[in-house]
A and B are shown apart, each in its own frame.
Chain A
Amino acid sequence: MSEPIKPMVDIVVSCGAMHFYLSQSDKGTLVFGGDLDGYNTYAQRGNLPLIDHVMAAGVSLMPSLSRLRFHRHWGGVMDMTMDGSPIICKSPIPGLFINGGWCYGGFKATPASGWCFAHTIAQDRPHDLNTRFTIERFSSGHLIEEKGAGPFPWAQ
């Protein structure tokens, strides 16, 4: 997140090729998003090479960012799955349902996924939209590979 500046961006900028996104908050700070730490961790601190990587992507997209100062960055734990997609399904135990493994996505998909999950619980069977998001997809081979990165959670 940058220092606050005057209004500059009134949309969400997203660049799939660089896995970078940017928006501006009401306070004027530019909010950036980028990749994972790149290894298993519970430290919740991020790392400098990744910050460098995210900013390099940002500057290549919008050179005007290069003189801005950084204020802070988020540090959390990502619940990664082996194919980069979430698990929203019934479990082998009756009455136990699973909604997890959202990787670094999920925030924007919360209403739709919550609706599907509620349907799964209420009807005791998945909604059409989450039928494939099972745990069994790893043994059956029906993976939902968002990025085609293979079974490497740190590379999703």
Chain B
Amino acid sequence: MIRIDCPFCGPRDHGEFTYAGDATKVRPAHGSTDMEAWLDYVYFRDNPKGVHKELWHHAHGCRQWLVVERDTTTHDVLSVAFAKPSKSGGG
């Protein structure tokens, strides 16, 4: 069981969350015709053994998207932050 300390809801087990993979990939510009860039964005992932920066959606909680740093060998959660910080400074 992985426990994620949601910055809004507090510590919850991972059953409340939906996993969404690598958080470091940046989508190419909407009109980009660079197929290599799209190929990299859609299909290529590093899958590190160790610290992995990844997206989790708190689907059964506050429904915020979170960026979680997690060790893929121990499941230690090293950091949790909102994927999109609030403009009002709330997170």
Q: Residues on A close to B: CB < 8 A? A: 38-43, 45, 47-49, 82, 138-139, 151-154
Query: CB of B2 within 8 A of chain A?
Result: yes
Q: Is A38 a contact of B39 with CB atoms below 8 Å? A: no
Contact partner, A139, options B13, B39, B47, B52, Cβ 8 Å: B39
Could you tell me which B residues sit within 8 Å of A by CB distance? 1-2, 13-15, 19-21, 35, 39, 42-43, 45, 47, 49, 52, 54, 72-75
Cα-based distance from A152 to B75 in the complex (angstroms): 20
Which residue in B19, B43, B72, B73 is a CB contact (below 8 Å) of A151?
B43
Knowing A47-B1, A48-B1, A49-B13, say if A82 contacts B72 (CB, 8 Å): no
Give how many A-B residue pairs fall within 8 Å (CB-CB).
42
- For residue B36, which residue of chain A has the nearest CB? A139
Q: Which residue of A lies closest to B41 (CB)?
A: A151
Residues of chain A within 8 A (CB-CB) of B54 are 39-40
Distance in angstroms between the alpha carbons of A59 and B49 in the assembled complex:
35
Instruction: Verify A43–B74 contact, CB threshold 8 A.
Output: yes
Contacts of A38 in B (CB 8 A): 19
Whether A139 and B35, one on each chain, are in contact in the complex, defined by CB atoms closer than 8 angstroms, is: yes
In the bound complex, what is the Cα–Cα distance between A138 and B74 (angstroms)?
Answer: 31
Q: What is the chain B residue whose CB lies nearest that of A48?
A: B1
A154 near B19 with CB under 8 A, answer yes
Contacts of B14 in A (CB 8 A): 39, 47, 49
